[in-house]
Structure 1
Amino acid sequence: MLRRPAAVLALCLVGLLLPQTPTATAATEARQRATPQVQVTSWSSYADFKAGTRRGLKLGRGSVSLLKPKRRTIAGRSYDAGTWTSPWATPGFGATALIPTWEATTPGKSLVRVEVRGRAADGTTGSWDTVADWSRLNKRLPRTTHSGQADDLGRVSVDTWYATSSVASWQVRVTLLRPAGTTQPVSLERVGAVASVDAAAARPTSQPGPGVGTVLPVPTYSQMVHSGHYPQWGGGGEAWCSATSTAMVLAYYGIAPAPAGIAPGHVDAAVDYTAKMVYDHGYDGTGNWAFNTAYAATLVAGDSYVTRMRDLREAEDYIVAGVPLVVSIAFGRNQLTGAPISMSNGHLLVIVGFEPDGDVVVNDPAGATNAAVRRVYDRAQFERIWIAASGGTAYVIRNS
């Protein structure tokens, strides 16, 4: 889809999430390359969740779920609710943005509410700001983000929390909700965020590394062949670049859920279905970064989260590990040679590999047909517009 440009994004976890590279040496090199201005933090294990604060929840192996919930009213509806609050995450720098992501099980009419808050270097603590109400099935309450909520330390803009100046630490809080009196097994399996400082300043083009000559066999889907489809989910065409990119990565892993609710005869119906499953009713679009990874997390066996990267050299490690990346770019006229569209103020596509000379091989869903989706872009041009537009934002979706 065509998406607003975004500055820096954020997440915090108990340990840097790195691609599963073939050797320990490669992983060590990746850690050494990681800029101190980006830190991903997440909580997903028994020990991680135990380190947080629980209210009305019980610990499981790699999850928390409702045990003794309290009644809570949201939008005039009554829910049984329990909350998990993370420890304070301290990135080691003044973060200017956070992007939270999560993996949750939300059967029936259950959902999760995700909130964040920051703390300044002087100890001032901001208010809890609601980033999203999310559910896989989108029943009872619409899946939505809550832009605004400006306070003295920050504000919410769709999937990103922006600090007024910077914060020294942050927390995330997740509330598990199910209709009052029901027994739906809602649970949280992982939550985190990527914390960062704006990294859009110009820098030298990265040198090609171990990913050169590797191209992953990711199927090609065009967003444009869906133009006019399902106006209630954005209407297809230029609006569906994110959903189409997510569908391509899932198809690469052999994941093609039955397209429930999609009319028979739709070409590549998985794209329409993905748009339905990631649509953000607050943003009115399918390009919510966290909603795409949260949906993918319900289907894959591995991690699914949003991160940022310093350059394409870091992206190569994922390609070597067999992990394609959905990345967020923006560009003006003559800034991306060979692109199927002349310009975009926000676009997502899939990095699938690298040419022997280091140029980037992509599945660009803006191609007019499936056959026109595979493209090769100049490394310097592509890296420049990726970093400048979104600070190197990428969806990491792994099935392992």
Structure 2
Amino acid sequence: MTAPTPRRAVLVAALAVATAATAATLSGGSASASAAPTPRAQGRTVDNRFWFSYDHWRAGAHRGTTAVPGARPGLEIGTAAGRTEYADPHTGRKSTWEYATWTSPVHRSTVPATEAIASWNARTPAGTWIQIELRGTYTDGAVSPWYVMGRWASRDGDIRRTSVDGQTDGKSTVWTDTLAVDAPAAAAGLRITDWQLRLTLHRRPGADRGPTVWLAGAMASDVPDRFTVPASVPSGTAHELKVPRYSQEVHIGRYPEYDNGGEAWCSPTSSQMVVEFWGRKASATALTWVKPGYSDPQICHAARSTYDAAYKGCGNWPFNAAYAATYRGLAGVVTRLTSLTDLETLVRAGIPVITSQSFRREELTGAGYGTAGHLMTVVGFTAAGDVIANDPHAPDNPGVRRVYKRAEWETIWLRTKRTATAGKVTSGSGGICYLYVPALPGAAQIRALREVGVL
């Protein structure tokens, strides 16, 4: 289930991964800003833009960074632009770092947006870390400040991985990992029309190399408030992927410093299922810190590797996607989809999908619990179109597989508003999911990702 507090905003982003040649085919080569905002497509609520090819990394403004070619192109420090001191608010340690920055081209969104969320995939060896910032232009012409969307490293020995609370300009606010317009209710209300990313790469002074960023970008969305959603028509074809099954509940009480296991670990538990579906796993060395005798120690490792020291939990969504991408040859981001038809398309292409939903106990037959927010993995569909899920809220690993009624499940996943148990109206996820796929996806996977609007 969720980390300590319910999210105010819906979290969204997208996945675009391929070789440089595939990137040129799919996205038309180099990234560049449009001359003017593209009119919003009919009914479209999500716009995605990611940089991941060699041409992408060559674009934008470099201050000490350099584009690195190869099967998986990236961004690295060439010559440091300077030095800076960082005082870690979670450890009290002050350290000096060399840094270099890359600023993306301006991206003009096809969807004037109420929310935006950044996502990234990177390698951060010991003695390195990255900061991701985003700034937007509003429909009134004003420009937001550079908002920190994350300070991130795969390990926690140099800095504590963290979101940054309290960022606002009176028009928008960062809520953990989502930049949200403060008052978007009216159809003609304030929106974000375009945005840029800025990446700052850090390394210890005098080091030869630093971090490598393989993918970075953001998604912007404007999903209307809704308590109900139209039902989609099932494909009529049964399909189920063999995804490993792990229970979060067997970890109750483990590692209070990483939010105490159990219901707080639905996100890393779900992430680990899909990481292992793709044939990756944590090394024995990476697990030596886990207490001997703990079952499924890789789940403890995933929780530690996704923990957000400011949020005080493992539910920071882009941190989970970034964790998945630390495994060789995997890419991961957070995205929003629009129907169970999209999920069926991905599952048929061999891609399991981690989804976020919230519901009262009586709203999801067979769950046996209610939640303000919970992650589970969609692994298949019955011939009738019902959802086959690996739901980590189970007493043990064998009990993780569940079948949920299609209409119920689609509603609790896609709605943006719901009535909680006490009668209070609160938020819903609006179709949020994680997608983890090979960094070099196959042709069928690329077709499916394009069909659902991710590529």
Alignment TM-score > 0.5, same fold? yes
Equivalent position to 2:414, from 384, 387, 395: 387
How many equivalent residue pairs? 384
Partner of 1:213: 238
Give 1:265 deviation, angstroms: 1.7
* Residue equivalent to 2:100: 82
The structural deviation recorded for 1:10 is 3.9
Give the structure 2 partner of residue 122 of structure 1.
140
SS at match of 2:299: helix
114, 133, 150: which one aligns with 1:132: 150
CA distance in 1, matches of 2:212, 2:53: 13
Q: Distance in 2 between matches of 1:326 and 1:396?
A: 7
1:188 maps onto 2:213 in alignment: yes
**Residue 253 (structure 1) aligns with:** 278
Residue among 79, 102, 105 paired with 1:68 = 79
CA contact (8 A) 1:8 1:197 kept: no
Deviations 1:142-168 (CA, angstroms, capped at 9, x unpaired): 000012211133211112111233211
Q: Alignment RMSD, CA only?
A: 2.1
2:198 pairs with 1:197: no
- 8 A Cα contact 1:8 1:196, kept in partner: no
Report what 2:11 is aligned to.
9
Indicate the residue corresponding to 1:100 in structure 2. 118
Cα deviation code 1:351-378 (max 9, x no counterpart): 0010100010000000111111100111
Deviation at 1:300, TM superposition (A): 4.5
8 Å CA contact retained: 2:76, 2:201: yes
SS at match of 1:107: coil
Cα deviation for residue 42 of structure 1 reads 0.3
C-alpha distance in 1, partners of 2:46/2:215?
Answer: 19
Maintained 8 Å contact 1:364/1:375 = yes
Q: Secondary structure at the match of 1:133?
A: strand
Shift of 1:34: 9.9
Q: Secondary structure at the match of 2:408?
A: helix
Q: Could you state the TM-score of these two structures normalised by the residue count of structure 1?
A: 0.91
Q: Which residue of 2 aligns with 1:331?
A: 359
- Residues 259-280 of structure 1 show CA distances to partners (whole Å, capped at 9, x for unaligned) of 2311222111111111011111
CA contact (8 A) 2:162 2:311 kept: yes
Which shows bigger deviation, 247-256 or 349-358?
Answer: 247-256
Separation of aligned partners in 2, 1:264 and 1:303? 31
User: In structure 1, how many angstroms separate the alpha carbons of the residues matched to 2:402 and 2:327?
Assistant: 27
Counterpart secondary structure, 2:327: coil
> Which amino acid counterpart does residue 390 of structure 1 have in structure 2?
S
Q: CA deviation at 1:382?
A: 0.7
Query: For residues 198-257 of structure 1, what are the alpha-carbon distances to aligned partners after superposition, in whole Å with 9 as ceiling and x for unaligned?
Result: 3442321111137x3011001111000011111111111111000110011112122121
| Aligned partners of 2:103 and 2:196 also within 8 Å | yes
SS at match of 1:372: helix
Q: Distance in 2 between matches of 1:254 and 1:14?
A: 21
Q: Does 1:273 align with 2:291?
A: no
Identity %: 36
State the shift of 1:15 in Å: 10
Structure 1 residue aligned with 2:425 = none
Q: In the aligned structure 2, how far is the partner of 1:12 from the partner of 1:52?
A: 20
Query: How far apart, CA to CA, are the structure 2 residues paired with 1:282 and 1:319?
Result: 34
Unmatched runs of 5 consecutive residues or more in structure 1: 25-32
Task: Kindly indicate whether the alpha-carbon contact (under 8 Å) linking 2:282 and 2:298 is maintained by their aligned counterparts in 1.
Answer: yes
| Partners of 1:116 and 1:171 within 8 A in 2 | yes
Deviates more, 1:326-335 or 1:251-260: 251-260
Aligned to 1:264: 292
Q: Distance in 1 between matches of 2:14 and 2:345?
A: 21
Post-superposition shift, 1:9?
3.1
Superposition deviation, residue 181 in structure 1: 2.2
* Partner Cα distance (1:224, 1:14) in 2: 33
Q: Partners of 1:264 and 1:313 in 2: how far apart? A: 43
Asked if 1:344 corresponds to 2:356, the answer is no
Q: Counterparts of 2:290 and 2:43 in 1: how far apart (Å)?
A: 43
Partners of 1:158 and 1:300 in 2: CA distance: 27
Q: Is the 2:324–2:331 contact (alpha carbons within 8 Å) kept by the matching residues of 1?
A: no
Instruction: Confirm or deny that 1:45 pairs with 2:53.
Output: yes
Instruction: Tell me how far apart the structure 2 counterparts of residues 265 and 85 of structure 1 sit (CA, whole Å).
Output: 47
In structure 1, distance between residues paired with 2:402 and 2:430: 22
SS in 2 for 1:185: coil
Q: Paired residue for 1:365?
A: 392
Q: Contact conserved, 1:361 with 1:376, CA < 8 A, in 2?
A: yes
Contact 2:120 2:217 in 1 (8 A): yes
- Is 1:284 matched up with 2:293? no
Letter in 2 for 1:207: V
TM-score by length of 2: 0.81
Q: Which whole-Å CA distance do the structure 2 matches of 1:213 and 1:35 have between them?
A: 29
State the one-letter code of the partner of 2:120: W
Q: Is the 8 A contact 2:17 2:52 kept in 1?
A: no
Task: Measure, in 1, the Cα distance between the counterparts of 2:212 and 2:141.
Answer: 32
Q: Distance in 2 between matches of 1:80 and 1:35?
A: 46
Q: Please give the alpha-carbon distance, in whole angstroms, between the structure 1 residues aligned to 2:288 and 2:323.
A: 15
Contact 1:115/1:132 (CA < 8 Å) preserved in 2? yes
C-alpha distance after superposition, 1:127-155 (max 9, x if no partner):
00111110001222100001221113321
